[in-house]
Amino acid sequence: MTTPGADERLREAFDALASGVRADPGAYRRASAGWRRRYRRRRLVLAILAALVFTAADAVGLWALSQADPNTHVIFSDPDHRPATPGQVDRIGQP
C-alpha cells in the first residue's frame, strides 16, 4: 500500500528528471546504423567461413581421389569375365 500523494510525488520526481534530458535527434539513426553494420559484418563473416569450409572439403576430397590407385576399388575391373556357370556370382562389391 502506498501513502496518499506518494504517486504524485513520484510522478513529479520523474517529470523533473525527464525534463533535464535532452533528446539527440540523430541518436536512434546512429544506433540503428551501428546495428545494421554489425549484422552485415556478421553475415559476411559467416558467408566467408562457409565458403572456406566448402573449399577445404573440396580440396581434401580431390586430394584423396588423386592419391587413389586407379586399379583398386573397382567392382567390375574385367569386362570380359564370365562366371563359371550361368547364374553363379563370383564376387559382390569391392575386391
Residue 77 lies in a domain: no
More confidently predicted of 51 and 85:
51
Angle at 57 between CA 47 and CA 93, to 5 degrees: 140
Comparing 11-15, 20-24, 82-86, the range with the smallest average pLDDT is 82-86
Q: Which SS3 state, helix, strand or coil, does residue 79 take?
A: coil
Residue 40 lies in a domain: yes
Residue 60 lies in a domain: yes
Comparing 17-26, 38-47, 79-88, the range with the smallest average pLDDT is 79-88
Residue 11: its pLDDT value, please? Answer: 92
Residue 92: its pLDDT value, please? Answer: 64
Residue 42 lies in a domain: yes
Residue 58 lies in a domain: yes
Residue 50 lies in a domain: yes
pLDDT band at 22 (very low <50, low <70, confident <90, very high): confident
Query: Which residues constitute the domain of residue 39?
Result: 31-68
Number of domains in the chain: 1
Q: Is the pLDDT of residue 1 over 60?
A: no
* pTM, 2 dp: 0.50
Kindly tell me the sign of the dihedral angle through the C-alpha atoms of 41, 44, 48, 54: positive
Comparing 43-47, 51-55, 67-71, the range with the smallest average pLDDT is 67-71
Residue 5 lies in a domain: no
